[in-house]
Structure 1
Amino acid sequence: MGTRNSTQQVKKRDDSVDAVTLLITDHKEVKQRFKSYDALVDADAGTEEKEALAEEKEEEEELFPKVKRSKLDLQALGEEMSARKQQLMADVGVEQDA
């Protein structure tokens, strides 16, 4: 009987060691996946930032000079756009700060 109990205890211990080893392995794999994900997110963020900077440059170098040459009343246009925004926001039930 003593040998049988010892064998069961060893098996339980081996099962526990296997479970811990599996958990450690899984944990390492999850950490690696998070690192990979973070690297992808950072790469995407860099790409988005570059695209935003390119758009900003285009606006400043091409669009803004065209608008200035157009002789539009930019003050009146801004007021019209602001009024329209307020109207649209009110239509969907969003309050605006004054």
Structure 2
Amino acid sequence: MEDGTEAGIPSLVAELDGPIDDEHPDVSVTDDESSWIVSAFQGGTLVLENLDDSDVQPRHLQHASRTEMIRLMTMLIRGELAALQQLDWLPGYN
């Protein structure tokens, strides 16, 4: 989502409902100030990672609904990083 807003997140997540795209299987939002990113994949996995800090290990959630994807991406856009990090993330990408 380029220069997107919170209102654009549902449309972004809806892109995952199209045909399986092996080349572009995810959509994501990034907090430019902190470099945190939430990526959502067609199969229902969410990934939380920091693009600028290799010491911070990526985390994931499996079987997320589209509603949950929207909620977590919105949390990142709103700057609710502490609350986002408190969720039951599992280590790694999946």
More strand by share: 2
Q: Which has the higher contact order (CA 8 A, sep 6+)?
A: 2
TM-score between the two structures when normalised by the length of structure 1: 0.21
Bigger CA radius of gyration: 1
